[in-house]
Amino acid sequence: MSGADWELARESLWPIVSGAVTGTIPLALASFVGGMVIAVAVALMRLSRRRWVARLGAVYVSVIRGTPLLVQLFVVFYGLPSVGILIDPWPSAAIAFSLNVGGYAAEIVRAAILSVPQGQWEAGWVIGMSRRRTLSRIIVPQAARVSVPPLSNTFISLVKDTSLASLILVTELFRRAQEIAAFSQEFMLLYLEAALVYWVICLALAAGQSRLETRLERHVAR
């Protein structure tokens, strides 16, 4: 790399990091929270004793997992306006990513709940707890520990997937890198720099995942 390349890399680093702080991370967090609300609801639907409710949840999971995230994003941003629903780029991205996370995380949540031994349910019933109370007080805390690793991986993947939001003009990490690259014509340098920032963020998230697993260890049934 020449001196000019190093100078460009240094000057472009803060705009790219700023795009991560003000765009990528907030978008990922909002989408993950929304996705988890959907995931819990769909997981409980899948576990429902009512067959039609369980099937409805299964259809949602099948549709989300069977279609590309990019197509889902375009349906929300470009498709909905054709039926009179116009949504700005950032909310469109958040909605699409939330729906996508909900479909994948629902199966993680369902599997985590099913992994708790049946005896834990019976223990709640013995002391007079209702099914809902047993689920919230006994089952969910234990299922949370089981679901942390896969859900953390889902979040890390979501952080990287937010780069697709640049296609609908959302200003985030990769969009900033694209803008600088288009101006400087140094595409390789700027894209590698963006990749480096994504990598650092994912390393930090992986470290946080490890600490969270340790804190939740006490909820595991022995």
* pLDDT, tens only, 12-48: 889 999 999 999 999 999 999 999 999 999 998 998 8
pLDDT of residue 147: 84
Alpha helices (H) in 66-172, listed in sequence order: 69-74, 89-115, 118-126, 131-134, 140-161
Mean pLDDT of 98-103: 96
Buried b (16+ CB within 10 A) or exposed e, 63-92: ebeeeebeebbbebbeeeeeeeeeeeebeb
Digit-coded pLDDT (tens) for 127-148: 777 667 777 667 777 777 788 8
Query: Domain with 184 in it: what CATH number?
Result: 1.10.3720.10
Secondary element (H or E) of residue 117: none
Distances (CA, A) of 95 to 32, 54, 73, 90, 169: 10, 23, 8, 9, 15
pLDDT tens per residue across span 176-216: 999 999 888 888 999 999 999 999 999 999 988 888 777 76
Q: Whole-model pTM?
A: 0.87
pLDDT at 161: 95
Selected residue with higher pLDDT from 214 and 172: 172
Contact 72, 96 (CB under 8 A): yes
pLDDT of 150 over the 60 cut: yes
Local structure of 50: helix, strand or coil = coil
Of 164, 193, 148, 216, the C-alpha closest to 10 is: 193
Task: State the Cα–Cα distance between residues 214 and 24, nearest whole angstrom.
Answer: 27
What is the domain range of residue 25?
3-219
DSSP class of residue 176? H
pLDDT of residue 58: 95
Confidence of residue 117 (pLDDT cuts 50, 70, 90): confident
Q: What is the percent of the chain where pLDDT is above 90?
A: 60
Select the more confidently predicted residue: 179 or 2. 179
Average pLDDT, the chain: 87
Inform me whether the pLDDT recorded for 219 exceeds 60: no
**How high is the pLDDT of residue 221?**
47
Residue 175's pLDDT band (cuts 50, 70, 90):
very high
Based on the structure, what is the number of domains in the chain?
Answer: 1
| Cα distance between residue 50 and residue 56, in whole Å | 10
What is the rounded CA–CA span in Å between residue 206 and residue 201? Answer: 9
What is the biggest distance separating any 2 CA atoms in the chain, rounded to whole angstroms? 73
Q: In terms of pLDDT, which residue wins out, 216 or 169?
A: 169
Q: What's the whole-number mean pLDDT along residues 149-168?
A: 93
Instruction: Using only the alpha carbons of the chain, give its radius of gyration.
Output: 21
Q: Residue 187, SS3?
A: helix
Percent of residues, the chain, with pLDDT higher than 70 = 89
Residue position matching structure tokens 């349906």 = 75
